[in-house]
A and B are shown apart, each in its own frame.
Chain A
């Protein structure tokens, strides 16, 4: 077995995972802190205001990375749920349910900051257009996964039920992503695409740095929540 596969197998062991994550956490928090400070400094002080939107464009450095993370975390949560259903790996089940509140937080943040950005830009806090509505459905899906897991006493059964709901909800992700192309929406088309971006570099760099910073934030909070849940589940068994 090569080193990578050995590492993957080791992470399935709760004691090994607990020790490894404990050593990794300070570094992940430090990288998040450094990236967030750098990204916010560039976004708030070094980038120019938009010629149409003015200063309100600075909300983009919170809103866009949060929206991106809301979808990425759901996809990861569904993938972990699938792995937990097919190969009942306890760590994967715990990481799946630990991801849900973090994803819900980013979704709520995307909705709140989007609403605050919409008021000065579109003249309204909310419209029932495809992008906003599908993002709201995503928040309900996250809350549904958390609620369904909490409804069961037995953790393995809870994880299976939550994983099934998460997998069903995956259909919402392409709806959110393609909503601005499929329907006539108030929300603008994507700023970042695989083919590149039309955003000025002075705005693009802080945006990309904040996206990476949010990813490290997710890793750090996920590891913290997973560690606590591991102890909680083991304590209940005794």
Chain B
């Protein structure tokens, strides 16, 4: 039996899972920062229009 496909599959699954696990919080962090910045801009606009 050729063991190559099993080894390749194992390392591929490891690469995919560990990359996802590392990147997922970075993406949600970026989304969060964008939400906060948008909210701050909204507050500034509100303050500017209602001094």
Instruction: Name A's B-contacting residues (CB within 8 A).
Output: 54-56, 58-59, 62-63, 66, 101-102, 105, 108-109, 112-113, 116-117, 119-120, 217, 220-221, 224-225, 227-228, 231-232, 235
A120-B3, A228-B25, A228-B32 as given contacts; A105 in contact with B17, CB under 8 Å: yes
The range of chain B's interface size is: 20 to 34
Instruction: Please pick, from A56, A105, A117, A228, the residue contacting B18 in the complex, using a CB distance under 8 A.
Output: A105
Instruction: Please state if B10 and A227 are interface contacts (CB–CB under 8 Å).
Output: no
Complex Cα gap A128–B36 (Å):
49
CB of B10 within 8 A of CB of A221, answer: no
Sample 7 A-B pairs with CB under 8 A, ordered by A number.
A59-B7, A105-B18, A112-B17, A113-B14, A116-B9, A117-B10, A224-B25
**Among B4, B21, B29, B33, contact of A101 (Cβ-Cβ < 8 Å):** B21
Please tell me which one of the listed residues A56, A217, A225, A231 contacts residue B6 in the complex, with CB atoms under 8 A apart. Answer: A56
**Bound form: Cα–Cα A66–B11 in Å:** 12
Tell me the residues in window 10-51 of chain B with beta carbons closer than 8 Å to chain A beta carbons.
10-11, 13-14, 17-18, 20-22, 24-26, 28-29, 32-33, 35-36
Interchain residue pairs A-B with the least CB separation, the first 6: A56-B3, A228-B29, A113-B10, A105-B21, A225-B25, A55-B3
Q: Can you name 13 extra interface pairs (CB under 8 A) apart from A102-B21, A109-B18?
A: A56-B6, A62-B10, A109-B13, A112-B17, A113-B14, A120-B6, A217-B18, A217-B22, A224-B29, A228-B28, A231-B29, A232-B32, A235-B32
Task: Give A115 Cβ to nearest chain B Cβ, in Å.
Answer: 9
For A58, A63, A113, the residue with the greatest tally of chain B CB atoms inside 10 Å of its CB is: A113
Give complex CA distance A225, B21 in Å. Answer: 10
Inside 8 A of A116's CB, which chain B residues have their CB? 6, 9-10, 13
Tell me whether B21 and A221 are in contact (CB under 8 A): yes
Other-chain contact of A120, B1, B13, B32, B35 (Cβ < 8 Å): B1
CB nearest neighbor in A for B33: A231
CA distance A56 to B4 in the complex (A): 8
A112 to B11, CA, bound (A): 10
Given contacts A102-B21, A109-B14, A113-B10, contact A235 B3 (CB under 8 A): no
Known: A108-B17, A217-B18, A228-B32. A62 touches B1 (CB 8 A): no
